[in-house]
Structure 1
């Protein structure tokens, strides 16, 4: 309601302004009747055309918002500008010349006598309507940019908190399991317990160093896994065997840290391991994945698992990359495939800092669009002035076509360079920029 009142107030001011202009500088008759007639005609044009475009724009905003269907909305806006304004101009001109001024009969009006007047008025109306549609787009763009930047920051902070929570599970989880192993060894083999303690200190140092990283090289993770396997071998001796077959080409690529340690723990925890039936655990590379496989010797679970290991790895990968962790299970073996990443992706912990860069790109995008609409607004203001000046000073020599055409081509080219209607935008509108960043980081 407030917006409609504002529109009506603006249209009233426009009506008064155009009335004063035509009455003071164009009309030869300076009488109250002439002023009243000029005001009625100006108000008719202003309110008919202004409100007509307003309601069409509002209807398109509800059905095809700029932020959700930009290309379709642009096409529909152009079509609506032409159709609606053509009808409005002809209706207004008919009422003006046939009803108010009585300077033409209906037959004369439709005979072609007023074609130039209709065409001239239509061009002026289209320029003003284009300005109104551009203003509506800018208003929605500002609201969308503010909303999306706030949402992106909230998403980034939430994702970062989630990732930190997952990483923080590793420290107490590893310590708890290691102390359980040590407790068992103290009773079974005190000498081995001492060796285990020394190895545990080295491993725990690695845990402390790597747990705050999103990714580590395959080489580092394999070296850690070998040390951890030695630690397990200390306890289980011949009951557990390990094999490593990792291609050198993958050593400098990346995986989630401590993933092998968690999966090794799962292998031990969920399977029986005895000297007569040893558990074989193989770690190898296969088609851009780091695999850990064990023969199935399912042990009966006394209590329900906490579910930290595999679930933790799956969640951390899902926050870092679109690639999935694959799980294969048969009657004979259980295999987990960890994606090997060629490069470090823009991980969750960098989203918060990258969010400022995203916002800067968004601001740059807004600046480009504002530059285009500044050009369009200037065109809408200057060209009508040149048309009026031309018709007043030399109506027989119509030179305004040239600046209108030349500048119009320039505005159209500027619009295509900014929006690239018909193909993808260079960075698309702000909503798409931010959603793309969110998809890249959140999958």
Structure 2
């Protein structure tokens, strides 16, 4: 047990000693004070340490955050059985061994039954409060831990996304300068036009590179402008076909994806007037396809694969839908998912996850309500017993509220931890599965 808990138990023992010595002890002698202190220390440490051991054992094997239902049931059972044993042990030591006001037979007779039951309820009250406090502390720790984890995931995803986007500038500039270098030697006039057009295209790159998604319409317009540049160099050797339906223009794709894929088509295939390279950009359902006839060029240097890998990774951060690649003997095709709306970099909580969160929140409220009911029972019933015995010891009317409310508490526990909504959901799923078969 921690030193802090021992100090707390000592203070509780001292406070209990002073309370009983000053208000319930007629002879204010040193001997009576020491007996009262001995009894207070015994009750405090036996009940405190005993319940502490039970609570710590349950925390290790059945943490609140991992097995809430099992832990709640075990907590209820353990505090009832544990306190029943511990209270009887303390009362036996008090009345039979220390004060010697009763024999063993008298202690286990109905004469001391009310006293034992009163003490058990007091112990249950304190223990139920401590278990509820432990539950709330564990819930608070778990919530903080989840918030920290989500922040780390968000920071990691943002950092990764920024890193991927930063690859676009040098990649685009490097490939454009390669094209420009070739044009300077082949056709200086076209090189000047290419330089002017490249400045316009690079402006688009700078505008869009910080965006997660752009509309298909914007990306198609940019791709057409970029295709004009390629036509400037390759003339009749390259042909572009755009067949994107109007309703798909409002959907979203990752920015510069078409430009990167067009670069790949030119880079990995040869194009001549007799064997032109035909590149088709068309929509197929919610897929944007970029397809070219396969005319593989011999590569002196192995490709780095930055362009396609960049697109795949950016899509993986934005959606669960994948980028597909098809390669046949006569064609090469890349399929880009078109998204109907803009998700965040760290995907927003889906409907099923949100429902699960709300269900868990409702579950926590049910457990809190049950512990409130249990604590209220443990407070009110001992008070009623005290009032009944103090005013009229012959008529024990406290049994009626004690048993009636006790049945209610038991029913509440059975509902929360026995056949609550989880049981209903399980049965519903079983019936639905049978119907599907």
2:54 is equivalent to residue 56 of structure 1 = yes
Structure 2 counterparts to residues 297-308 of structure 1, below 5 A: 297-308=295-306
Q: What is the SS of the residue equivalent to 1:114?
A: helix
* C-alpha distance in structure 1 between counterparts of 2:222 and 2:343, whole Å: 23
Aligned counterpart in structure 2 of residue 331 of structure 1, from 322, 329, 332: 329
* C-alpha distance in structure 1 between counterparts of 2:79 and 2:293, whole Å: 71
* C-alpha distance in structure 2 between counterparts of 1:407 and 1:291, whole Å: 68
**Residue aligning to 1:118:** 116
* C-alpha distance in structure 1 between counterparts of 2:71 and 2:65, whole Å: 9
* C-alpha distance in structure 2 between counterparts of 1:404 and 1:160, whole Å: 59
Structure 2 counterparts to residues 397-416 of structure 1, below 5 A: none
**Residue aligning to 1:86:** 84
Q: What is the SS of the residue equivalent to 1:214?
A: coil
Residues 123 and 290 of structure 1, relative CA distance in 2, 3 Å threshold = farther
* C-alpha distance in structure 2 between counterparts of 1:52 and 1:379, whole Å: 23
Instruction: Show structure 1 runs of 5+ residues with no match.
Output: 352-360, 425-443
* C-alpha distance in structure 2 between counterparts of 1:316 and 1:6, whole Å: 52
**Residue aligning to 2:181:** 183
2:133 is equivalent to residue 135 of structure 1 = yes
Instruction: Pick which of 204-213 and 147-156 moved more.
Output: 147-156
**Residue aligning to 2:272:** 274
Residues 55 and 171 of structure 1, relative CA distance in 2, 3 Å threshold = same
Instruction: Pick which of 107-116 and 382-391 moved more.
Output: 382-391
Q: What is the SS of the residue equivalent to 1:264?
A: helix
Instruction: Pick which of 48-57 and 231-240 moved more.
Output: 231-240
**Residue aligning to 1:200:** 198
**Residue aligning to 2:310:** 312
2:11 is equivalent to residue 21 of structure 1 = no
* C-alpha distance in structure 2 between counterparts of 1:401 and 1:231, whole Å: 92
Residues 122 and 379 of structure 2 are in contact (CA less than 8 Å); yes or no, is this contact kept in structure 1? no
**Residue aligning to 2:391:** 394
Give, in angstroms, the shift of residue 385 of structure 1.
Answer: 7.9
* C-alpha distance in structure 2 between counterparts of 1:135 and 1:315, whole Å: 45
* C-alpha distance in structure 1 between counterparts of 2:421 and 2:106, whole Å: 43
Residues 241 and 280 of structure 2 are in contact (CA less than 8 Å); yes or no, is this contact kept in structure 1? yes
Structure 2 counterparts to residues 347-426 of structure 1, below 5 A: 347-348=345-346, 379=376, 383=380, 386-387=383-384, 390=387, 393-395=390-392, 396=395
Instruction: Show structure 2 runs of 5+ residues with no match.
Output: 350-357, 424-437
**Residue aligning to 1:433:** none
**Residue aligning to 2:257:** 259
Q: What is the SS of the residue equivalent to 2:292?
A: strand
Give, in angstroms, the shift of residue 318 of structure 1.
Answer: 1.8
Q: What is the SS of the residue equivalent to 2:2?
A: helix
Equivalences, count = 406
* C-alpha distance in structure 1 between counterparts of 2:274 and 2:69, whole Å: 70
Aligned counterpart in structure 1 of residue 294 of structure 2, from 283, 296, 307: 296
Residues 131 and 380 of structure 1 are in contact (CA less than 8 Å); yes or no, is this contact kept in structure 2? no
* C-alpha distance in structure 2 between counterparts of 1:167 and 1:335, whole Å: 23
Give, in angstroms, the shift of residue 144 of structure 1.
Answer: 4.2
Structure 2 counterparts to residues 191-270 of structure 1, below 5 A: 191-270=189-268
Aligned counterpart in structure 2 of residue 159 of structure 1, from 157, 160, 185: 157
* C-alpha distance in structure 2 between counterparts of 1:87 and 1:381, whole Å: 17
Q: What is the SS of the residue equivalent to 1:243?
A: strand
Give, in angstroms, the shift of residue 124 of structure 1.
Answer: 1.8
* C-alpha distance in structure 1 between counterparts of 2:381 and 2:87, whole Å: 16
Q: Which has the higher contact order (CA 8 A, sep 6+)?
A: 1
**Residue aligning to 2:8:** 10
